[in-house]
Amino acid sequence: MAISDGVLKKILISYAYVAIWIFLSFTVIVYNKYILDPKMFNWPFPISLTMIHMAFCSTLAFLLVRVLKLVEPVSMSSDLYLKSVVPIGFLYSFSLWFSNSAYIYLSVSFIQMLKALMPVAVYSIGVLFNKEGFKSNTMANMLAISFGVGIAAYGEAKFNTWGVILQLGAVAFEATRLVMIQILLTSKGISLNPITSLYYVAPCCLAFLFVPWMVVEAPKLRETSSFHFDFVVFGTNSLCAFALNLAVFLLVGKTSALTMNVAGVVKDWLLIAFSWSVIKDTVTPINLFGYFLAFLGVAYYNHVKLQALKAKEAQKKAVQADEEEGKLLEVRDGEGGEKKSHSQDD
């Protein structure tokens, strides 16, 4: 059966969005590693780098929303902003700070393996806040993912305890942020795309990071008198970070969240291959075996979520069909009653 030009065009566009997202996500991760790693660009200031990103993204988001008016802002009161957006900004700032800090101590490949714990953290925190129902088979799957990551960690050639603590902290903060978005925004009918998210959240992140920056990194930066701000490196790095948010908007908007999850798996394997072949990080067979077990668990989790989503959509369509049928019957009954009354009048 031949594919029509319209369908083929949609498929090619979807693949193009996936490729762009994978490329930008890949680039941002490797670029951040390059800047922060003491053996590369040697600028080990993760809070400063995160603040540069947030300042850049805040400025561009403001231009797109308020000046160029290409993106519609969300109607939001100051009370809602303080109670909903500010806590999310706090969690996001620490998630970015910790994840960027991990690049100083861990290889890119091992960080990607530790990130496989994200579904475990999201599910556990969801259960804690009553956003997810506890299911023994789902928890068994979470334990399987954790076991796989544990094997990968056991096989890590350059294991660094502090780096692992930072990355696990980043996963915990990010998972909490995702659950809080559901509780504080989605449940109230507020939907933020990546641009409006940056418009509202990035300034909060900048404010929250300022205090630890003053205490931890500002004194060290004053001592580093030999450093000169490289506008090309930090400018292109920040531009890639902002472009990644645009790519997320396009990918989820034009395809689906599941497509992004699948693309994320492809990106993780590519990063592991790149880390081993180009950066020359050590990737052991035990590493790969453990990550493969975790990968199977994550794939199964995504499959179960997709099936649940499909069932929910089918149920929703069935309810809508029943409602429409009920309305049609009401209209017909009304028309029948009118005709009957007219015939009696005659």
pLDDT for 12 equals 80
d(CA 274, CA 73): 39
Residue 305 has pLDDT above 90, yes or no: no
pLDDT in tens, 121-174: 989 999 999 888 888 998 999 999 999 999 999 999 889 999 999 999 999 999
Residue 227 has pLDDT above 60, yes or no: yes
d(CA 253, CA 49): 29
pLDDT for 264 equals 79
242 contacts 60 by C-beta, under 8 angstroms: yes
pLDDT in tens, 44-91: 999 999 999 999 999 999 999 999 988 888 888 889 899 989 999 999
pLDDT for 58 equals 93
293 contacts 148 by C-beta, under 8 angstroms: yes
Neighbour-count burial of 212, counting CB atoms closer than 10 A to its CB (0-12 exposed, 13-18 middle, 19+ buried)? middle
Instruction: Label residue 343 by pLDDT band (50, 70, 90).
Output: low
* Region 194-206 average pLDDT: 90
Residue 244 has pLDDT above 60, yes or no: yes
Closest residue by Cα to residue 167 from 153, 148, 178:
153
pLDDT for 309 equals 74
* Region 240-259 average pLDDT: 74
pLDDT for 110 equals 94
Residue 346 has pLDDT above 70, yes or no: no
pLDDT for 225 equals 62
How confident is the prediction for the chain on average, in pLDDT? Answer: 86
Residue 115 has pLDDT above 70, yes or no: yes
pTM, 2 dp: 0.84
pLDDT for 224 equals 77
pLDDT for 284 equals 92
Closest residue by Cα to residue 214 from 88, 42, 38, 47:
47
Q: For residues 252 and 291, which has the higher predicted lDDT (pLDDT)?
A: 291
